[in-house]
Structure formats: structure tokens, C-alpha cells
Structure 1
């Protein structure tokens, strides 16, 4: 089997089969941060595989090998004596992966900048209509429904409605604020921008659609777990129930939302962590999967 066939088969498995298998399991809900990392790793691996597939179809195998070695040389890694002297085909073997990397990076930056502009405009509105609460370390916004969300980034801010301050108990309100602070400290907006970028390049791909959906859900679950470190399950669940109907502005992360029913069931169900074998396997997959397409395209030469 040549490199192109192996890479095409690998891309089909990662892009179509693995996402559905991953959805069948429940371990990602018990370890949401690790689960989100697996979705990110699969997305990166597919991107690498798709790029190398195009390279292997466009240029001969020996030129693809030279192109990969050239990229590694440019990163300071030397796999053999001398430095490759690429010809036209070799330059193409380098250009295609570079173009994909640039496209992903550009899409990632685009989504980050767009979300940041939305947040900046919303901050200006908050400065006009909201009031800062030193006690809550948050901006209190006039709104007739209990709601809370955060604006992550360089100037993070937690926002809570005056209805939430009025209607929630002190324990419920503190749990909600801890949830929002977890989004900020965990930089969850970066993970969301990454899957948005991947989905923009491959909108037809099941992996891209599911990675976007599942990463958003898992980031909320990770923030829930942070709040549960210092609050009971009942306190957080009742607060989420009170805030389920509220909607947050674009570019923000909120304790409520469309996935609140799934998260409520998770919080109220008996808790058990994933088996150590599962977490160890998932961590290994996260580290190894992104480099598998490179090994398929250019097996290491020993000796």
C-alpha cells in the first residue's frame, strides 16, 4: 500500500468513523477537559492527513519524503546527514502542508479577532448600562431573567444580571460566578476558536461538526466541575435550572444555554471518574494521533 492509499484510508477513519465511535462512549463526560483535547487532536490529525494526502497525490513519494525532511530541517530537526536541496516537486511537497497550516492559522486568528471585536463592543455597552460590584467581582446588568456569562480574553469580565443577584441564593450565585471564572482561567475560548477554525475549512465533515458541538459542551462541563469543587451538586443544578432560559451575547460563555439539560443530568447523576486505563489511553491518543499521518506518509528510516 502506497502512502496516498494509507493516508486516504486514515482520513476516512478519522473523519467519519472515529467521531461516531467517540460519541458512543460516556467517558468524555467524566473527564471533559481530556475529552475536549481528544477532539482537538483528531481535528489536527485529520488536517495533517488531508494535507499529506494532497502532497502524496501531487508529487512522487521520494519528493514528499524530501519535503517532509525539509520542513523538519526548518524546525531545527535533523534526521540524516546533509540538508535537502529541493527541486520543483520538493518545493510543492513543502508548499502544500505549509498552505494548509497557514489556512488553519488564518482561520483560527479570524475567529479569535471576530469574537474579540464582539466582546469589545459588548464591553462598551456594559460600561454604559452595567455597574461594577466589588463584592461579586462582576458587572451587574439590568435584565429581567437570571443570567450570567463571561467575556474572556485580555480584559476578562464576568457579567451577572440583577435578577440573578436578586433571585438566587448566595450559594447559588457564588457557584454560577465560579463557573464563569473557570471559563476565563481555563482559556476555553481558545479551544472553541480552534474547532471553529477547523469547521470553517471542513464544514461538510462529521468530525468538524461534532468536534465543534462536543468541545462547546465539554468546556461547559469542565467549568461545572470547577464550580463543584466548592459547591454541592444540588446548589449548582438548581442555579442552572433557574438560568436555563437566559441567552448570552455572541462571543461570550454562559452557565445556561442549549446544553443545560445534558449538564443537569450529568451533575445530578451518581458521580464516578473514568477508569485510569481509559484516561491513560486517551492521553496517549491525544499525544500520538497528530503525528500518525506523518509516519504513514514518511515512515522513519532506521540504520
Structure 2
């Protein structure tokens, strides 16, 4: 009972308390890629903690005190060994054992179900958009993009197979060569970074736990952070003025649902960040944050599955 209470408290801390502080912290905007990794690890930590808490709450004391060995024996996957010299017997799982396993499994199965459903829906949407692009778009070998005749300036990528970067006629008319290439570099950063996969994880977690502060903050913050990470990649090859101008011109452009666009509601925040750069967190700070985030999902495993 004590172990289950500790695990439940840890899940509550990760799911409700930590996200509020992390969402207000200033450093994520200075290290967006690291911050996205932290959000994803917090999501994993919550699932592990909640699953183990449910397991320990329902399982019998015998299996609880035996930690991971008890869990495996309840599944019928491991024999119970009460001593080195005693006869090894297989523990028969009880009704409570099955209930504990079902409770823990549901916490894991719920986000997995939504992940599969989200991935299936996104794949169908990308296929429809690709079919549309084949009809209305024309390739531009000079920019490695697909041009769509539309007066509103927009630049976006479609992370399909093959991935496409799309530019509207309005963007070609509004941007000069350097600005356009900066915008294209931003979109290719999304493709190379597999940011659409991160989006699917965030969306699935939010649907699995819609009332959880971690789900809400992780999705809101990470979508902005992914755009900032793509901005940083584009700035490695292009000037701040070029990227900032491109960002202004395409800010109002709307993109299809399965696509990742350079504009959108986060454009103003990102524009200020591009024009007034802040130093990255110190290397020791980044290492400490990464170490703490990586260790977060390990703690409930040690607490719940260790021989305590």
C-alpha cells in the first residue's frame, strides 16, 4: 500500500505539478529541442508511474513485496523460488492478480490505442493531400518544392512518402530568393527531425488523458518548441533578417491539417525570438536537465519493481 501511494503521488507530481512550472520556465525557448525531449520523457514517466501504481494497488501483498519477480510470477511467466534449496513451484495467478494486471495494462493500452488511431488518421489525411497536390501542384526543381497556384503566401511541408515541401504562388511573389530558401530550410528541418511523429505522440497522449495538465501543457508547449527548433536549424544557414521576413510574410497562411506550416498563431512569439536572440543555457544546465529527465521514468521502475 505504501508503494502504491508513493507511485500515485509521483504520477500526480509529474502529471499535474511539474508541467505548470515547466510551462512557465524561460529556458525551454532557449533550448527547444531539449525541452521537447523533456516533455516526452515526462509523458513516459506518467504512464509508467500510473501503471505501476495501479498494479501495486490491486495486486496481493505477496507479489507487491516481491517486486518485479512477483509481477512476472503473477503473469505465470516466472516460477516462485522461496529459497535456493527449496523446490521451485509456479504461482497460480488469482483474480486479484488478473485485476492488477488489467489495471496496469489499461494505463499503457489507452495511449497506445490513441497513438495507433492517430497515426492511421494522419496517414489517410496525408494520402488525400498528396493526391490533391498531384492534381494542382507542379514541381520546382530549383527549390526542391511543389508550387501551388494560390494568392495567399504559405510555405509548409507534408511529411508523407515521399515528403513534400509546398510553396504557394503568393509566397513566391512576396519573398526574395534568400527569404524563400530560409523558409524552405525551416520546413525541411521539420521533415528531417521527424516532427510529425512527435506531434502524433502528443496528440495521442492528449486524447488518452484529456483532463491531465501534463497532456495539455505538453501539446501546447511542444508544438511551439518544434517550430522554434526548426527556426534554429534554418538559422544555421540563413540570416535572421531573411528568416524573420519570411516568417512575417507567411504568418497568415493556412495549411492543410496533416501538414506542418511555417506560419500560424506562434509566428509573433517566434519572430521576437528570432530578432532578439537569447544565449543557450549553460552546458552544465543542459546536461543536468537531460540527466534529470532521463532518470524520471527510471525512478518508478526502481520503486515499483525493486526488491523493497
Using structure 1 for the length normalisation, give the TM-score.
0.91
Distance 2:154 2:89 in 1: 59
Matches for 1:109-124 after TM superposition, within 5 Å: 109-124=116-131
Q: Check conservation: 1:33, 1:222, Cα contact below 8 A.
A: yes
Q: Which moved more, 1:81-90 or 1:123-132?
A: 81-90
Distance 1:84 1:173 in 2: 67
> Are 2:294 and 1:282 equivalent residues in the alignment?
no
Secondary structure at the aligned position of 2:22 is classed as helix
Q: Check conservation: 1:151, 1:158, Cα contact below 8 A.
A: yes
Distance 2:146 2:302 in 1: 51
Q: Which moved more, 1:156-165 or 1:62-71?
A: 62-71
Distance 1:14 1:182 in 2: 30
Q: Check conservation: 1:66, 1:84, Cα contact below 8 A.
A: no
Deviation track 1:186-243 (CA, whole Å, cap 9, x = no partner) reads: 1001111111111111100111000011111111111111100001111101110011
> Are 2:58 and 1:58 equivalent residues in the alignment?
yes
Using structure 2 for the length normalisation, give the TM-score.
0.89
Distance 1:189 1:220 in 2: 11
Q: How many residues align?
A: 299
| Equivalent in 189, 193, 196 of residue 189 of structure 1 | 196
Distance 1:95 1:236 in 2: 51
Secondary structure at the aligned position of 1:160 is classed as strand
Counterpart for residue 3 of structure 2: 3
Higher alpha-carbon Rg: 2
Q: Which moved more, 1:104-113 or 1:217-226?
A: 104-113
Distance 1:206 1:297 in 2: 24
Q: Check conservation: 1:178, 1:226, Cα contact below 8 A.
A: yes
> Are 2:26 and 1:31 equivalent residues in the alignment?
no
Distance 1:84 1:261 in 2: 63
Distance 2:111 2:92 in 1: 25
RMSD (Å) for aligned C-alpha atoms? 2.4
Q: Check conservation: 1:67, 1:94, Cα contact below 8 A.
A: no
Counterpart for residue 158 of structure 2: 151
Q: Check conservation: 1:179, 1:224, Cα contact below 8 A.
A: yes
Counterpart for residue 48 of structure 1: 48
Counterpart for residue 218 of structure 1: 225
> Are 2:239 and 1:239 equivalent residues in the alignment?
no
Q: 1:244 to 1:83 in 2, by over 3 A?
A: farther
Q: Check conservation: 2:247, 2:271, Cα contact below 8 A.
A: yes
Q: Check conservation: 1:67, 1:86, Cα contact below 8 A.
A: no
Deviation track 1:129-156 (CA, whole Å, cap 9, x = no partner) reads: 1111111111101111110111114321
Distance 2:152 2:18 in 1: 40
Shift of 1:70: 6.6
Q: Check conservation: 2:67, 2:306, Cα contact below 8 A.
A: no
Distance 1:150 1:83 in 2: 58
| Equivalent in 142, 161, 172 of residue 165 of structure 1 | 172
Distance 1:96 1:83 in 2: 26
Q: Which moved more, 1:146-155 or 1:119-128?
A: 146-155
Q: Check conservation: 1:129, 1:141, Cα contact below 8 A.
A: yes
Q: Check conservation: 2:67, 2:304, Cα contact below 8 A.
A: no
Counterpart for residue 19 of structure 2: 19
Shift of 1:65: 5.5
Shift of 1:71: 6.5
